Amino acid sequence: MAQDTRERLLDQAESLFAERGFYGVSIAAIANELGLTKQALLHHFGSKAKLYGEVLKRISDRFDADSGHPHDDQHTAADALIAYLINLSDPAAFSPIATRVLMRELLDNRGRADTAGTWYLKGFLQDLIARVQKVPNWQTASDAEALTFIYQILGAINYFRISEPTLTGIFGQDDFGALEAAFPDQLERLIRAGLNAR
Amino acid sequence: MAQDTRERLLDQAESLFAERGFYGVSIAAIANELGLTKQALLHHFGSKAKLYGEVLKRISDRFDADSGHPHDDQHTAADALIAYLINLSDPAAFSPIATRVLMRELLDNRGRADTAGTWYLKGFLQDLIARVQKVPNWQTASDAEALTFIYQILGAINYFRISEPTLTGIFGQDDFGALEAAFPDQLERLIRAGLNAR
DNA sequence: GATCAAACTTACCGCTTGGTAAGTAGAGAT
DNA sequence: ATCTCTACTTACCAAGCGGTAAGTTTGATC
């Protein structure tokens, strides 16, 4: 029940940071949401910045756990890569809340000193580069070429995922449902076409 | 010189909102940057929210001006669409600062009451849907199908553009230069492949 | 049953925030 | 010469911010 509070604070912080960003959320707001005072939060995390760091770290850990290679029962390198990327785009496999936090971090860490946040993406990206270079017609591709491709796909996925509120706002709930349903298939088609285009 | 101050305040606000987001910037910070007090800013814009609204509107206007159809001297609908999208990805044609502001708005307007902000993207997106449906093998595509494709490409573009600081941080300035150089060509290949894949 | 640490609370602090109120300085029109 | 409008300024305010200090409650350990 004690450790539980810590975890619940992290959950709440992650969700609020996702919605309003680091500056948009006060530690009092996070704590109050659980019926606590902000000093309870400070007792657990020391400072707002440290809390934010722990939120980031927890996302990173979950991310790494997820990127174990469970899809390598596919027949070809291309199929394995595609399955992996499509899985990434699945809200059930990797929470849209975390995506939002990471996207904000991407926008923020231009100015901040506390850049360490997204650097852990390095291993993840390098892993993906290697996966691309296993695909037959990409074996001679440079790292830059492979990364550019990967980054375009990640962009397609993540941009869509943070746009849900805006797209429902513009086109309505029903039409957004249609978009969401069409997304995975079209994503697969795009990745496959992109891989073949080389 | 008078109207000029307003414009200069908008410039400064746009750039600071891009870097730190709505909550991360105080109106005093914006005004001080020009050697003014915050009350000078309030005199011109009334409130912080209204200033932000005007920043958004100005970006939208610039955007619309840019999306006049100057590339329709292309031979096919596909070529015209591709030229248009590649132009969108050019920092010279559409400022990365504005991209950052819009991306933040995409993240923020889930919670905010002042949602009207990004709704103006509607016309832009509908225009793009129509452009896609002019491409021969997309003429029977539903709006949802066309929009999903477009959105994937916009994601690929915009995600890359906001990632510059992070990517240089991870891979170094030189390697990022290689990425940036490779980007347009690979983007074109991806769009073309995606269009053909239907 | 005293001791101690963990998990909190209330009280407080200095600073910053967005915003209001009430001026002032200067140019243009009458 | 005065009136008026625009573009500002200084002065002020209540509320909120992150953080420190100093308790208080509670449950386990010896």
Only one residue has tokens 């997106």, namely B125
The reply to whether B43 Cβ lies less than 7 angstroms from strand D is: yes
- The letter for the amino acid at B113 is A
From chain B, pick out residues whose CB is under 8 angstroms from the CB of A108.
Answer: 20-21, 24
Picking from A142, A152, A182, the nearest residue to B148 by CB comes out as: A182
pTM: 0.90
pLDDT of residue B2: 46
CB contact under 8 A, B107 and A162: yes
The Å distance, CA of A3 to C1' of D28, is 16
User: What pLDDT score does B98 carry?
Assistant: 95
pLDDT digits (tens, 9 = 90+) for A87-103: 999 999 989 999 999 99
Mutation pick from B100, B106, B119 vs chain A, by most beta carbons of A within 10 Å, is B106
| Cβ neighbours of residue B182 closer than 8 Å, sequence gap 6 or more | A144, A145, A148
For the CA of B115 and the C1' of D19, the distance in angstroms is 34
pLDDT digits (tens, 9 = 90+) for B88-134: 999 999 899 999 999 999 998 765 545 555 677 888 899 999 999 99
Nearest to B175 by CA among B184, B186, B166, B185: B166
What is the DSSP-derived secondary structure letter of residue A36? -
The DSSP symbol for A135 reads: S
Neighbours of B110 (CB within 10 A): 18
Phi, psi of B44 (to 5 degrees): -80, -35
The shortest C-alpha distance from B7 to chain A (Å) reads 24
Q: In whole angstroms, how far apart are CA A70 and each of A66, A129, A136?
A: 9, 17, 21
Per-residue model confidence as pLDDT tens for chain B (198 residues): 446 999 999 999 999 999 999 999 999 999 999 999 999 999 999 999 999 999 999 998 887 777 666 555 667 999 999 999 999 999 999 899 999 999 999 998 765 545 555 677 888 899 999 999 999 999 999 999 999 999 999 999 999 999 998 899 888 999 999 999 999 999 999 999 999 998
- Per residue in A1-55, pLDDT (tens digit) is 445 999 999 999 999 999 999 999 999 999 999 999 999 999 999 999 999 999 9
Q: Which residues of chain B lie closer than 8 angstroms to A106, CB-CB?
A: 162-163, 166
- Straight-line distance from CA A12 to C1' D20, in Å? 25
What is the number of alpha carbons within 13 Å of residue B86 lying toward its C-beta? 19
Kindly calculate the radius of gyration of chain B based on its CA atoms and give it in whole angstroms.
Answer: 19
Query: DSSP 3-state assignment of B113?
Result: coil
What is the Cβ-side half-sphere exposure of residue B60, based on CA atoms within 13 angstroms?
Answer: 17
Contact between the CB of A29 and strand D at under 7 Å: yes
Q: C1' nearest to CA of A5: which nucleotide?
A: C7
Could you say which of A100, A106, A193 has the minimum Cβ distance to residue B166?
A: A106
Partner-chain residue, chosen from B125, B144, B155, that has the shortest CB–CB distance to A159: B155
